[in-house]
Amino acid sequence: MKKFKSTVSNILSPVSWEDYELIDFGYGKKLERFGKYTFVRPDSQAMAEPVLSKKIWDRADGIFNSSNDEEKGSWKLSNKVPEFWDVNFNNIKIKTLPTPFRHLGFFPEQSVHWDWCRSLIQKRDKPRVLNLFGYSGIASLDAALSGAEVTHVDASKKAINLAFENRNRNNLEKLPIRFLVEDAVNFVRREIRRNNKYDGIILDPPKYGRGPNGEVWRIEEDLLNLMYLIKEVLTENPLFLVLTSYAIRSSHISLYYLLESSLKFNYGEYSSGELGIEDSSNKKRVLSCANFARWQFE
């Protein structure tokens, strides 16, 4: 049995992604490029001073103007910006579009987890992977392309439809992926009763959310109980579990101990840290985006 190991305080950042770039950040905003188009979006972590001039920022193709809540507001877009376009990652075309909640259809910083999951999936023949709170499905597509059989769950029908579109735009309809509009907690409970097991689990829970039948999710109240349930749907020899949180008050250390205390595995490797994106200025600064905790068998 592999000796138990732990690692805390990693800072993971995507590398060499041609179709995405964090150009600059500061004064509570970030300047990014998605394919050919540049956007300014609010970000509470961008507390530093920008490196580039205001003239460069003012040339952005789209600006998200937010209210007091950075998730709410409206876009001001130039005529150059189409309704949607493709951004490529690992030969996957991602449907990219300005959404009403300032996002553009996916989270670039998550690509470090996609790479990590792929490296583990490829070590085993047809592992079963569960992607809870799966959003637009890029993690599911990448996992399935790597050889996994994937169950993709999200409570939002719009998110599932976007995941379908990403699958279909890549002509990947034959991949072994189940897409389900389900409440995550209720789904895992049913999988326990069915005795269905998974080798890998991907979790990206929101701070607050509602299920398709009005179920209420609050990360501070519900995440630990979900983790207890998740342990019951892991196989006897699981590959990995990755948990990401964008909730402001959850540090990566709190996620680390939550994962350790709920899984209680005395083997494998636990780790935690931050997801960040390095800007392309000559200062190579890193913008913090989210916290994560992970466990892997090998």
Task: Look at residues 38, 58, 90 and tell me which one is the last residue of a structural domain.
Answer: 90
Residue 98: inside a domain: no
Residue 96: inside a domain: no
Residue 281: inside a domain: yes
| Residues 122 and 261 reside in one and the same domain | yes
CA distance 182 to 180: 6
| Residues 279 and 192 reside in one and the same domain | yes
Element holding 246 (H helix, E strand): none
| Residues 230 and 278 reside in one and the same domain | yes
| Residues 127 and 261 reside in one and the same domain | yes
Pairing mode of beta strands 92-96, 216-218: unpaired
Sequence-distant (6+) residues with CB within 8 A of 210 are 155, 216, 217
| Residues 46 and 86 reside in one and the same domain | yes
| Residues 74 and 142 reside in one and the same domain | no
Residue 101: inside a domain: no
- Phi, psi for residue 81 in degrees, rounded to 5: -80, 120
Query: Does the pLDDT value for residue 289 go beyond 50?
Result: yes
| Residues 124 and 215 reside in one and the same domain | yes
CA distance 180 to 164: 11
| Percent of the chain topping pLDDT 90 | 83
Query: Does the pLDDT value for residue 71 go beyond 80?
Result: no
| Residues 55 and 165 reside in one and the same domain | no
- What pLDDT was estimated at residue 209? 84
Bridge partner residues of 132 (DSSP): 153, 203
Q: What average pLDDT score do residues 120-130 get?
A: 97
Pairing mode of beta strands 73-77, 62-66: antiparallel
174-193 confidence digits (pLDDT tens): 999 999 999 999 999 999 99
Q: Using pLDDT thresholds of 50, 70 and 90, give the confidence band for residue 2.
A: very low
Residue 110 is given by DSSP the state G
Mean pLDDT, the chain, integer: 92
Strands of 148-189, DSSP E: 149-154, 177-181
Residue 43: inside a domain: yes
Residue 95: inside a domain: no
What domain range is 66 assigned to? Answer: 20-90
Element holding 214 (H helix, E strand): none
Q: What average pLDDT score do residues 252-262 get?
A: 94
Length of the chain: 298
Question: Which pTM value belongs to this model?
Answer: 0.92
Give the CATH number for residue 61.
2.60.40.1180
